[in-house]
Structure 1
Amino acid sequence: MTVSRGPAPRTGPEDMPDGATPGPAEDPAEVLAKLGRSWTWILGSAIATLVPGVLVLVWPDETLHVLAVLIGLYLLVIGAFRFVASFARDDHGERLPGLLLAVLYVLAGVLCLRNPMQTIAALSLIVGIVWLVSGILTLYTAIAAKDLPHRGFVVGIAVIGIVAGIVVLALPSESARALTRLLGLWLVLLGLGEAALAFAWRAALRRSGVAGPQDPAGTP
């Protein structure tokens, strides 16, 4: 959304403590864009995916209630990461897939937390749809975005997300233990893929010698 800028209130050295001169206020969108272009932000998203995946695999005997809460929190956190990452795209049209992903993750997280005692089939349906749609949107962004560094990494992560969604939807687990192992495995794979992308992005930033070229597409 474009906000018209009116005349700024007058501010001078006499208005600041100790005579300090205020600097220009930075646009919040620019702040989010800088954060989203950082390779550490991508790494943070990878860790946020890896941690619940490892927890799910280490404690596969936990109840479905615990699994639903864990997956719900994961979806909410990743939704926040996707929201910030979408601002890294300069073209407003290219931000739309990232924003849609953020909304999708948040809505799915709320559904998981709103009724953590839901059935195994319902939880599988929510997670499967999220991974499938996010994988397709990420693949679209990777193909459509111009001058996208490490396009192969992004396409690979998108394909993993698509396959994960299809597997979860097509092969519904009949027990909480089987579902736990399946979700944990895919979370670990997605997290490792994002971590590889983060370190590849750091290498690109070091080679370019600038603060940050165009950010890679949002990953599932």
Structure 2
Amino acid sequence: MLSHRRGALAAAGALCAFVASAASASVTISGPGAPVDPFAQVSSAMAWIDANGGGAAYSVTAGPIAGRYSAFEMADNTTLNWGFSPGLLEIEGTLRVRSTSSLTVELGGTDNSDAVGSGAVEYDTILCTDWVNFEGKLKLVLVDGFVPTVGDSFEVIASGAYIVLASTATVEGPAVGPGLSWQLSVGPSSFTGTHYAGESLFVTLVPAPGAVALLGLAGLVGRRRR
């Protein structure tokens, strides 16, 4: 299961949206033909979209619950959000983000070390007890006046097993300076000794490939001149 231990969930998306309140601790849908009553699980909401969405774009927001949400696979053309402020999302089981679906991650700092403790995090974090298949898009949003610098790395998904980063996976981040880009990678989880000690998905702010080449060329020219 998935829990959001801090903050409330914001709905997003121009066409339709899932809205969840902290009081209901649930997931609801708004949009063309969407049911008014909330869903108890993200998986149920995704199943509704698969069956009734007809290819429309949806934005899904998961509310805080006691414990974790059950495993789920994101529906096509769907974006998942989980908070007005950076928060935690916990999943019991597996997670698949399809190639046409997206996760929106808010970055308000670089620290999520207490995710397994108090649940207080400076950026949106997903904790998943099993494997993760990430085929879609990671959308980054800066909040709380945070401005990242080169080398800042964010462990956005920690798993209890392994992470498959598909060739279709992309990252869409804010422009934070010339010659910089966002890079996805998989590495060991920092949450050793927990249910999430497998592999993690990281996004890092790095010099863009073109900028690196230009820096190397400038250095070479400088050496030749000397």
With normalisation by structure 2, the TM-score equals 0.25
Specify which structure has the higher proportion of strand.
Answer: 2
With normalisation by structure 1, the TM-score equals 0.25
Higher relative contact order (CA 8 A, sep 6+): 1
Specify which structure has the higher proportion of helix.
Answer: 1
Q: Which has the larger radius of gyration?
A: 1
